[in-house]
Amino acid sequence: MSPLREKILSTASHLFQTQGINSTGVDTIVAAAGTTKMTLYKYFRSKENLILEVLEEGHKDFQAWLSEKLNSNTSQPSEKLQKLFDFIEEWVTSPNFRGMGFIKASAEFPSEDSPVHQLSSEQSRQFKQYISSLAHEANIQDAEGLALQLSLLFEGAVQAEQMIRGSGAMTYAKKAAKILINGAATH
């Protein structure tokens, strides 16, 4: 990837997370990136295309980080499921936490016809599928049901922490997740 393209993507990501997607215009992005509109449009056909790439990169980075944490800290499938919210809490309480892109984007683009909303919905589904695969590996009988419950806890707690840093939502979500996981493991 071109260093300038990477700079535009990184700058847009930061601005979207801190100022909002719709509140951040192309002029603001190019000024902060130290480039021109012509250069931005050389790499991204439209602002929507830039938004989609920012969402894709952010989701990919989060999934890679979470998978690496789980795989390097535990080998048992049941332990991975148990540690899932420990690592999510670590991410949410880090100083760099700015929220989850697909949650923010779906709020700013509520129309189901919007490509941004569609990608956000797909990323939510992918994360739920990731949890489901962990549950299947841990031999949870209702892996899909547990994945839905845990993804709801995750999305709700992330939304609460986006709104009020240090709200404690993730701590309580983690406690609830442990109860759900332990209950699903015994059935």
Question: Residues 65, 134: one domain?
Answer: yes
- Cβ atoms within 10 Å, residue 127: 21
Question: Residues 19, 63: one domain?
Answer: no
Average pLDDT of the residues in 168-172: 92
- Cβ atoms within 10 Å, residue 50: 22
pLDDT at 82 over 90: no
Residue 30: domain span: 1-44
Question: Residues 33, 62: one domain?
Answer: no
Average pLDDT of the residues in 94-123: 93
Question: Residues 73, 23: one domain?
Answer: no
CATH assignment at residue 29: 1.10.10.60
Average pLDDT of the residues in 142-164: 94
Question: Residues 178, 135: one domain?
Answer: yes
CATH assignment at residue 129: 1.10.357.10
pLDDT at 1 over 80: no
Close Cβ partners of 78 (under 8 Å, ≥ 6 residues apart): 138, 139, 185
- Nearest by Cα to 47 from 28, 67, 73, 69: 28
Average pLDDT of the residues in 168-185: 93
Q: Model confidence at 185, in pLDDT bands (50, 70, 90)? A: confident
Containing H/E element for 47?
helix 47-73
- What digits encode the pLDDT tens for the residues 23-35? 999 999 999 999 9
Is residue 50 one of the residues assigned to a domain? no
Quote the pLDDT of residue 122.
97
**Total tally of structural domains belonging to the chain:** 2
